[in-house]
Amino acid sequence: MRETGDPSLYTKAEDLLDRAEKIDPRNAELSATRGVLALARHDFPRALEHGERAVELNPGSAGYYGIVGDAQIELGSYDEAISSYQEMVDRRPDFASYGRVAHARELYGDPEGAIQAMRDAIEAGSPVGENAAWAYVQLGNLRFTTGHLDEAAEDYDRSLKAFADYPPAMAGHARIAAARGELDRAADLYRRAFDRMPLPEHAIALGDVYAEMGDRKEAERQYGLVRALDRLFRANGVNTDLEIARFYADHDVELRTSLEKARSAYEARPSIYAADVLAWTLYKTGDHKEAQRYSSEALRLGTRDPLMLFHAGMIAKKLGQEERAGEYLRQAVDLNPHFSVLYDDAAADALDDLEEGRAATTGGSG
């Protein structure tokens, strides 16, 4: 699935696991694979259940603790997840465990530490070529988030060398092109990524680039594909509430549905990212005080994510908290002034408004 983007493979995998269970229901690898499948489908309570079952059956296997930790991360149980990841690293410091260390460090606001851990993962190596390509993409994404676009581009190039025409790496290059204002190139790269791996995230990004280019017709065509793909993923057991809620909120469509899905997603997976999406949908629907409550929850680990900081800044601005708004927006822009095709101009404009307001106040008092 990670190589093709075809969600029907989840259903086929589940059929095989059902057959395997009839042969040996107490097989630890069966439980672990069910856990991996549940993670992929965003069914995190079930993933935790299967992961813990795998650990119970074979507590010596390092990888099983990773499944448990991944589920705990998505369920907002961060202390427990860190413990699970530590168990995994202690048993086997390898590609998989270092990759999880990188994610944990990113969540806790340590992108430099995350970059080092991802380098350790790459150095540890993996027998699967796609894994190396994936790791380079994650490394590039970390660098992009912190505004190091040239280094990110180098990582995406390395990913493409490890796995030819790897769609996530092409999408990474597309995001850099969009950040640099090279919209035609960004559109071409996103099209190529989508053709090889028709994921909603690629269709959304391509639609946003077309919108930035002023081609509303083509943008709306891509957004229509997002809805069609969402139906396909749901038909194959994937819970897409969080992703579709963010898509609707970002594009100011079906906002009531967006809020319903965001609440449902947060209830099912109360992670900081679910809290952030819920905060943004509440902002878009006008409930700014409740939005700030969830935005604060989203930032509780100290995560340095420009988009989350932008959300927090815009919510605070709407509530008249100018100093707080300026602090969040400045952090977002300082990390990466081109963090989003949709919102980088909005962030800069909001900062200008706040600074003009402060200048007017200072001038008036003088």
The pLDDT value recorded for residue 1 is 87
Residue type, 158: R
pLDDT tens-digit series, residues 288-312: 999 999 999 999 999 999 999 999 9
Residue 325 sits at the vertex; the CA angle it makes with 322 and 330, to the nearest 5 degrees, is 120
pLDDT tens column, 157-184: 999 999 999 999 999 999 999 999 999 9
DSSP category for residue 299: T
Contact 174, 189 (CB under 8 A): yes
Q: What is the pLDDT of residue 292?
A: 98
Per the prediction, the chain carries an average pLDDT of 96
Q: What is the CA radius of gyration of the chain?
A: 21
Q: Say whether pLDDT at 359 is over 80.
A: no
User: CA 39, 45, 50, 56 torsion: positive or negative?
Assistant: positive
Q: Where are the domains of the chain?
A: 165-239
Model confidence, pTM = 0.94
Q: Please say whether the dihedral angle defined by the alpha carbons of residues 248, 250, 251 and 253, taken in this order, is positive or negative.
A: positive
- Checking if the pLDDT of 364 tops 60, the result is no
pLDDT of residue 44 exceeding 90, the answer is yes
Q: 45-54 long-range contacts, Cβ below 8 Å, gap at least 24? A: 45/71, 45/75, 45/268, 47/71, 47/74, 48/72, 48/75, 54/28, 54/29
**Res. 228 pLDDT band, cuts 50 70 90:** very high
CATH class of residue range 165-239: mainly alpha
DSSP string computed for 241-292: HHHHHHHHHHTT-SHHHHHHHHHHHHHH---HHHHHHHHHHHHHTT-HHHHH
Residue 273 near residue 242, CB atoms below 8 Å:
yes
Mean pLDDT of 101-121: 96
232-243 mean pLDDT: 97
User: Following CA atoms 130, 242, 184, 220 in sequence, which dihedral angle do they give, to the nearest 10 degrees?
Assistant: 130
Neighbours of 123 (CB within 10 A): 10
Burial 208-234 (b: 16+ CB within 10 A, else e): bbbbbeebeebbeebbebbeebbeebe
Mean pLDDT value of segment 138-146: 97
* Distance in angstroms between the alpha carbons of the first and the last residue of the chain: 64
Give the separation between CA 359 and CA 355, rounded to whole angstroms: 6
Longest dimension (CA), the chain: 83
Q: What 3-state DSSP class applies to 6?
A: coil
- Band (335; pLDDT cuts 50, 70, 90): very high
- Identify the three-state secondary structure at position 197: coil
Is pLDDT at 365 greater than 50 in this prediction? no
Amino acid type, 209: V
The reported pLDDT for the residue numbered 356 is 87
* pLDDT reading at 262 higher than 50: yes
DSSP string computed for 17-86: HHHHHHH-TT-HHHHHHHHHHHHHTT-HHHHHHHHHHHHHH-TT-HHHHHHHHHHHHHTT-HHHHHHHHH
